Structure 1
């Protein structure tokens, strides 16, 4: 059994999720405006983020398998566990990855009235976005070979992946129209650092009994991988010409609008239904990137029957080493497959994200002086539900969150969440935002229940950041 090809497929399954259910609606944290440009702005007449420390988001997981499924010390043979994982996973299972690092950010209120009703925010962040669907038929072929799968077609469209590393410069406008309605819009300029896109693969591979040989291998191929920003960085034709410092300069240039460019926008609003009941929603990353620089695409489109040497079934000849055998096979296949390499421009669309939540606030603050309600003070508690969706190549990914928010005392707010998504039905998260004068620090993590066995975790999230906020008033 040849396990190495499958392990390569599996370990690309470390995943990150774009859902930020703990940060969404946390209005005391300025970065919540990145999730809803029309969100509420609390106690904030201006702020600036600490450069490179104002927002970092990481989340790792997998929708169909955990490390525990493969490496648990339970006495079961590893090969058996590997076969069980492959058989239980579906082609719709996915591995996604996102990471976000805010480079700088800031914002300030403005307007003609004493109570400023407009807010401008801006910043630059770097982002990684990756998704790969589980290529089940490829994994079965790698594990079992084709001898036990005669007349079984292996679907090549199971291979579907996309990866983007980019920077985003953004400017957002938030307008409080009246006590009930607030809206916002954010414009974005994307600068792609590197992109890989292979989401339109088609075709099949099947082994059937042959006439001139024992087996015929029938290939019906329509495969394509498009890349930009990569060829110039990984060109190893001449190691003497390789310059790591030059590559770093190239990446820095692309980070500051020197890459393939695109445009996008975010939209959002908040509606105060009653004094205690609020509904808000947002659409994020409605945009595209046009790839025209450093483009290199690869395409194989053909249909043929391979006879002669049986590369996947016939054992090596006597006296022939495994390396020699597979080298011969590689040379034969190189003669069969014609890979067209082009520099054709292409466009990718950003993964549009949708958020919506319903929030109920309660628990009015009492004054210590008179044991009476403080009329201008916000409610101490809130409960609500949030729906999240993101557009992906095969189908949207969804998550539903219930949450509880609490102002514990002056300068400390906490939020607890329970989320149902593609990774888990018992994801419990906790976030806090601490304020000391103008200094703000926040820390958020989820899936606490699964930490009892970290190897069985399918999703772990972390967010933190530091800001300085110019408060409207002190608690």
Structure 2
């Protein structure tokens, strides 16, 4: 049982990232505006196919991989598990992020000659979860306390938060002149479910006892806040599918937020752009259940130390008495106090250089009205997390091939690896746009040993797309 608990804790090092480095700046795809509302716009209008316009899933690990634990290499699993727990650090993390665009669209507007403004809108569902690796808890579960007398196991290693919510958004983009474009996006959040426990202190220590072999001292300051998980006491039934739909359509705990972004053409070939996303909050006031344990508790077990079977006490009776004594000792405070959570702010910035204009077939001269065929650049990404920002740096190469085919290759250095190579392609077949993106191709030969992997895809219908 101890080894199983340690394994579950170890799995929490797996990490899913919110970084969309391939999509960022890929202005042929309308969804790139979701990463920078001030980005360049290359269509006069679009509609995303419902539930298909943007699907994003990604996964990774900042430490031990599945292959490290389960490879058929002749090494005992217990040895590999012990090595993995020892190698992991409290700042290693597990996160999960999934995004599904329900509806989306956009259109340009302005005066008849110069439609330099663009309005985009939509509704998407997002799930975001992060749990840092509870190093001390994993060691305690794996080794037990008898082998760690006098060792203080820290509670602050326990840090996690998770939320499922829907987001309705409206964005405004304006091309001020040939050099400068800016954009803003307003958001209404509707939280479906939330839980978080990120500011925990204290811990647990076992010492030699006086009245028993050991004395266990708990110095605890632990809190867990939840909303949308346990129904209010005045409600009669459990949660249903109708409840989920209702919360998705603004019937949950509501909040507000916004995105901002800019693009600036330094020269005809050099461009700088940046964005801040999800500057906002959610106020939780419905279906609230909070738990708090605060104080110092001393537990010396119960007498007799071992079950006296000749007096009719079974082993089960003994452990039930231990559990009941411990529950009576620790005071768990349960409340329904309202609380506020802040969204994880994300930052993007990139410096880009374009080159190589297309030439006419019948002469050695460039087509001045056309865009450049190639682009290279660097992109910086960061996201605010409970234990500090997580960041990534990406170098990319973008290429326009045929009339409707675009490709982007990326190389990313992040918390997971220094060898993440990604590829994204966007195809325009008439007014239909399809795109697909994936990364960490070098690890596909052994996916179980991959540090990270991601997939994005979607379908859009483009109106009046600017021709090459």
TM-score when normalising by structure 1? 0.94
2:343 corresponds to 1:344:
no
After superposition, give the CA deviation of every residue in 1:191-240 in whole Å (9 maximum; x if it has no partner): 0000011001111100111222221111100101000000029x9xx9xx
Cα deviation, residue 462, structure 1: 0.3
Q: 1:323–1:374: structure 2 CA closer, same or farther, 3 Å change rule?
A: farther
What secondary structure is seen at the aligned counterpart in 2 of 1:47? strand
In structure 2, the gaps of 5 or more residues are none
* Residue number in structure 1 paired with 2:257: 264
Q: Distance in 1 between matches of 2:297 and 2:246?
A: 45
* Residue number in structure 1 paired with 2:227: 228
* Residue number in structure 1 paired with 2:143: 144
Q: 1:421 aligns with which of 414, 427, 432?
A: 414
2-11 or 176-185, which deviates more: 2-11
* Residue number in structure 2 paired with 1:201: 200
2:5 corresponds to 1:5:
yes
Q: Distance in 2 between matches of 1:461 and 1:310?
A: 55
Contact 2:12 2:132 in 1 (8 A): no
After superposition, give the CA deviation of every residue in 1:251-286 in whole Å (9 maximum; x if it has no partner): 000000000000000000000001011000000000
Cα deviation, residue 10, structure 1: 2.8
Cα deviation, residue 470, structure 1: 1.2
Q: Distance in 1 between matches of 2:366 and 2:262?
A: 29
2:430 corresponds to 1:437:
yes
What pairs with 1:374-385 in structure 2 (closer than 5 Å)?
Answer: 374-385=367-378
Contact 2:10 2:85 in 1 (8 A): no
Cα deviation, residue 53, structure 1: 0.1
* Residue number in structure 2 paired with 1:35: 35
What pairs with 1:210-289 in structure 2 (closer than 5 Å)?
Answer: 210-232=209-231, 247-289=240-282
Q: 1:82–1:316: structure 2 CA closer, same or farther, 3 Å change rule?
A: farther
* Residue number in structure 1 paired with 2:174: 175
2:84 corresponds to 1:91:
no
Kindly tell me the number of residue pairs found equivalent between the two proteins. 466
Contact 1:62 1:96 in 2 (8 A): no
Q: 1:306–1:29: structure 2 CA closer, same or farther, 3 Å change rule?
A: same
2:95 corresponds to 1:118:
no
Q: 1:127–1:183: structure 2 CA closer, same or farther, 3 Å change rule?
A: same
Q: Distance in 2 between matches of 1:151 and 1:8?
A: 25
Q: Distance in 2 between matches of 1:242 and 1:183?
A: 48
Contact 2:436 2:456 in 1 (8 A): yes
What secondary structure is seen at the aligned counterpart in 1 of 2:124? strand
RMSD: 2.0
2:408 corresponds to 1:409:
no
* Residue number in structure 1 paired with 2:389: 396
Contact 2:166 2:249 in 1 (8 A): yes
Q: 1:104–1:321: structure 2 CA closer, same or farther, 3 Å change rule?
A: farther
Contact 2:299 2:326 in 1 (8 A): no
* Residue number in structure 2 paired with 1:60: 59
Q: Distance in 1 between matches of 2:13 and 2:249?
A: 30
Q: 1:226–1:49: structure 2 CA closer, same or farther, 3 Å change rule?
A: same
After superposition, give the CA deviation of every residue in 1:299-325 in whole Å (9 maximum; x if it has no partner): 0001021113399xx777779877555
Cα deviation, residue 113, structure 1: 4.6
Contact 1:22 1:417 in 2 (8 A): yes
Contact 2:297 2:330 in 1 (8 A): no
* Residue number in structure 2 paired with 1:309: 302
What secondary structure is seen at the aligned counterpart in 1 of 2:243? helix
TM-score when normalising by structure 2? 0.96
374-383 or 327-336, which deviates more: 327-336
* Residue number in structure 1 paired with 2:447: 454
After superposition, give the CA deviation of every residue in 1:334-385 in whole Å (9 maximum; x if it has no partner): 1111111100000000000000000000111112244421111110000000
Cα deviation, residue 411, structure 1: 0.5
Q: Distance in 2 between matches of 1:338 and 1:454?
A: 46
Cα deviation, residue 118, structure 1: 0.5
Contact 2:431 2:463 in 1 (8 A): yes
In structure 1, the gaps of 5 or more residues are none
Q: Distance in 2 between matches of 1:45 and 1:192?
A: 33
* Residue number in structure 2 paired with 1:48: 47
Q: Distance in 2 between matches of 1:74 and 1:110?
A: 63
Contact 2:431 2:465 in 1 (8 A): no
* Residue number in structure 1 paired with 2:20: 20
